[in-house]
Every structure is written in C-alpha cells, then in structure tokens.
Structure 1
Amino acid sequence: MNVTVWNEFFEERKYPSVSSVYPDGLHTVLRQALAEQLGPGTGVRVALQEEPEHGLGQDVLDDTDVLLWWGHLKQDEVSDEVVERVRRRVLDGMGLLILHSAIESKVAKALLGTSCRITGWRHGDSELLWTILPGHEIVAGVPNPVVIPHGEMYGEPLDIPAPDELVFISSYEGGEVLRSGCAWHRGRGRVFFFAPGHEEAPIYFQPEIRRVLANAVRWAAPPAQPQPRLTRQGEWPAKWWVPA
C-alpha cells in the first residue's frame, strides 16, 4: 500500500504557536505516525502545496492508494486542475482522508457536493471523541472516549451530506457537539473526514489518534480486487444503477 500525505505547510513556518508543536511540519509527524502504525509494507510519501502541481502529478496519484489532506489558510490557492485530478482518482478507487480544517477545502467540496462550512470554532477546548459505530474497522483498538486535552471546537450544523457511516462524534467543554468522524463512498473510492487535528496542539502525537488514522487508511485503501464501477441510468429513484 502506498500513502501520500498532503500538507499546505504554511502555518508551521509562519506562526511560532504552530512551529513549536510541529517544527518540521504536520506532514512529517503524520508520515512518521503512519510508517510506525502500518509497518514496513507501506510506503508513505509527502506532497506539499508549494511543489509543482502541488506535489500531486498524475503519476503520484496513480501510485497512491490513500491520500491524506491537511489544509487551512491556503485552501483557495489550490489549483482547480489538481482538485479535479484528485476527485477523479477517488472515483476510480483511491481512498481520501480529509483532516481537520481540510473539510472546507476545494477537494472536500468537490467530492461531497456541499459548502462544507463550519458554523463556529473556538481554540483551546478539551474534547471527548466518542465512538458511535462500535465494530467499525476505524475504531478497532480505540478507547471510548478518546480524551483530547486541548484542541479546537468546531460547531454544528456542519454543512456536509449525511455520512454513509457516522463513526465518531465529539463533545466539547462548552457543550457543543460535532460529527467528527464521517465516512462516505464516492464511486469506487472511500472518503473519511476526521476533525481532531488542530495545528496548535499535539493531537497527532496522541497514540489513540495515530491508531484512528492508521485504521482509517486501512479502511480507505482500495480492495485487492477492484469493485465494478456503477453508473446511474436515468433519474431518481437511485435503484436504477447498472455496471458501467
């Protein structure tokens, strides 16, 4: 399995509050976490927004089984051509993990079909990550709840389509809740949004969070045998689906 970690790598170099936590970039910590969790049979590469084609040329994407996407302040600067390239690869079977503020990225909007707008946010909250779907592959070996001492509150309503599988919800010290672990199927591909991951807190160093990410990569990876691609004939009802 080949995994690509994509990061805009901006805040780590601009803000001391972020560089003090992730001096070598969020992508470096994510790459290390996945390499440790997934073992030597998995290749983990990094792609950065500043690179040509944002590090996501067609050859890279064709060689990627699962793409992790972390973006925040530079999301509008991502090339539409690259967004479309990623979207097509997901429809063809590549897995995608949308991390934290990347829920408002162009890639997320292109695949989910909504604004993906967060209602409100607040820094510094403690968070409880609750398992909603026991037995799902993503929650294997994950305690319930996972305690995140310091993070960022994201509020509902979050403008996303109803998840095919709601895996986690989060509750915050202010009383808010969030659908914080959401899974969708898009074409042949699988998409997972995981909200914890505020850049000013060492959340990606937590063993429980690393376990969730590794589990999500395994879940999102294409199956050994490709699934038939489906197309819809005509209009609603959605039962009119036939193999392409």
Structure 2
Amino acid sequence: MYSVASSASYIPSLPREGAVLQPVRFGPGHAGLALAGLRQRLHDEHGESLEQDGLEQSGTTVAISHGEELVAALRIHAADTPQLRREMGALLRLERFAGSWPAESIVVGSRLSVLADYRTRPVIDLLMRETYRLVRDSGVRFGLISCAPELHALFAFYGFREYLPPAILPGGTATLRMALVCEYQADLLASQSPLLDLVRQPEIGESAHAWLAQAFPMLG
C-alpha cells in the first residue's frame, strides 16, 4: 500500500493535444513547473495569484490534463507535515485527531485550482474521484479542508460536511471547516456523491464517522 506522500512521486507524460481528460499525479516538490501554465491562466482570467508557497514542497497534487494542458489541480498533504501543522493545525483542530488516529490516516486539502472553462461536472468529478482513489488506497480515514463559504455546495455534493463552526480569519474573512469521512456511505448516498461507487470497505467508514461525530458534536 502506498502513502499520500510517496505514491505520486513520478511525473507521467501528458497526453497529446486532442486527447480526452486524463488524471495526473505529482509527488511532493514535483508539481511546480507543471502547474506554471495553469497558474498563469488563472492569473490572466481572474487576477488570482497562485505562486508557490510554503506548502508546495510537501504537497501531493492530483491534476487533470486536457491535451497538453493542465486544467485543474487539487493539492493535499499528510497531517503530520510540519509546515501544514504550523499554518493550518490550529484552524482544523488537528490535535483532536492526534490522540486517536495516526497522522497518515488524515489528509488536508490546501489548494484547489480550476480554469474557468473547465469548472464543469466531468472535470471536477474526475479530479475528486482520482483524489479519492489515492487517499482510499493510502489508508486515509479523514479528508479535511478549509474553504470559502461560497464553495460549501461544491464540497457538500462530494460528501464533505462541516465538523466545526465557521472560523474568522485575520482580516475578517470567514472560512468553513469541512471533513470527508472516507468509505462512509451514508454521507455519500445522501448527497448522491459521484464518489459513492468507489467505496470498498463501508465498515471502516462507519467507525470513523462515529468517532468524528463524538469528537465534534456539530457533525452529529
């Protein structure tokens, strides 16, 4: 079984132009150059600045290519990544998980990037399904994110639920704290998530959800 930190350490060749949408994985420290074009397009489209940050070297990135271009990407980290714990540990209450779950059973999503023309169900479904396969096969039990309120519906559709009240960041910006319990069928079924058919061990999801609901009563 491979881990989130090591399973995507290769960089496969991108499909030739005209090919269908394809998932691509990049291991820690390998995605920067490949994502340069995506970042430039996002800057041109929306003025979004997505330069490499302190989490770049520790993140595994799942991306979607169309032809020779990367059009969407989701970056995730193991919960014991030092820089991640410094930047997001308190916000996501990672210490609450530490006493009961090994660090490798928790991943945190730190950046979602999708070109405007590709913010469609086929692209996002493929991105989320490929990410789910990666974390499921790595033995992950919880996927955590912090996201803007306007993204609530998107993540809820794929099975994420708020496990803590919204937080107010420095500057007054609100952020949501959401969790996906891997292999928990009930949440995926309730939202008709495209991830539902990827569940392989539902009993694992049941026990993980029971713990999370007890640790974070808001979820229950």
> Into which bin does the TM-score normalised by the smaller protein fall?
under 0.3
Larger helix share, 1 or 2? 2
Normalised to the residue count of structure 1, the TM-score between the two structures is 0.25
Normalised to the residue count of structure 2, the TM-score between the two structures is 0.27
Question: Higher relative contact order by CA 8 Å / sep ≥ 6: 1 or 2?
Answer: 1
